[in-house]
Amino acid sequence: MTTVDLSTNIAGVALKSYLMNASGPKCTTWEELEVVAQSASSAIMTKSCTMEYREGNPEPRYSDLPLGSIQSMGLPNLGYKAYLEMVPRLKALGKPVIVSISGFSIKENIEMVSAFQKSDVDLIEVNFSCPNIPGKAQVAYDFEQVESALAALTVLGDKPIGIKLAPYFDMSHFIAMATILNKFPVKFITCVNSIGNTLIIDPETESPIIKPKGGFGGLCGDYIKPVGLANVRAFRELLDDDVQIIGVGGIKNGVDAFEYLLAGADAVQIATCFEKEGEGCFKRIEDELTAFMVKKGYTQLSDAKNKLKPL
């Protein structure tokens, strides 16, 4: 029987599989992170942490939709010091640990990145794209701020830094962001976050289906897969070869994961499917991806990675 090697690496950190959890669902508490560690996720990714503990936005702030979900969680998390303290225990669970941080200013991000640089985490993912904090602009859509932040954050230590990006829709924005990223030792990007400020209305109640921000929230799941694929593809063509890409958005089966591979992703993260199905999704999707690659006659990720065929 053909064996398929799904191992990969991000910034030199070896991953046994192409799939991991995304920062967001079910990765806030120690108990949740332990479940991720025991699943087929190839890494343990934390919830985006802020300087202090956050309750997040008022309920209802999440709703399943036929092809995904809408949410405006507002970064509920334990505060970065709690995750810093967890790092040794997380590492002891035997998988690479990736911490996601989401400060509300460059100063806050400097403090948190500096602290995690002195820890045993494997990778640091800085979230430039949380669309659900009232009154706070997404850094990812302010290119001047991105440049200032990267200049400050990429000199704080030797641990690899990556950036979680918002979805872009205009080629000029891809080019502008890639030009900035190529100036700095950014080791990976994660794209995309949810599509911000979408609105789902319940015609029966004549109200939005979530409460925060008058019902505006981040759209996730199948709805955003074409956007995720486009962002991975565009950045793969524009970024230097040594910047790796983690794809996110609407991956719920092995074929979805394979499409991200063709677009050029070095690994993928699962969010909405994990939220809806639980931790069994990682093994199921991994098995489906393996089966699809066997059918194609491929034995390793490099057989298909970044090999989208033009028409």
49 part of the active site: no
Backbone angles phi, psi at 148, to 5 degrees: -60, -45
Structure tokens at 141: 């859509």
- Among residues 130, 191, 220, 273, the one annotated as catalytic is 130
Cβ 50 vs Cβ 103: under 8 Å: yes
Q: How far apart are CA 143 and CA 155, in angstroms?
A: 19
Total count of residues recorded for the chain:
311
Q: How far apart are CA 134 and CA 72, in angstroms?
A: 10
Cβ neighbors of 113 (< 8 A, separation 6 or more) are 101, 124, 126, 153, 156, 157, 161
Cβ 62 vs Cβ 73: under 8 Å: yes
Backbone angles phi, psi at 39, to 5 degrees: -90, -175
Cα dihedral sign, 133-96-263-160: positive
Dihedral in degrees, nearest 10, Cα atoms 136, 25, 178, 234: -130
**DSSP 8-state assignment for residue 133:** S
Catalytic residues: 130
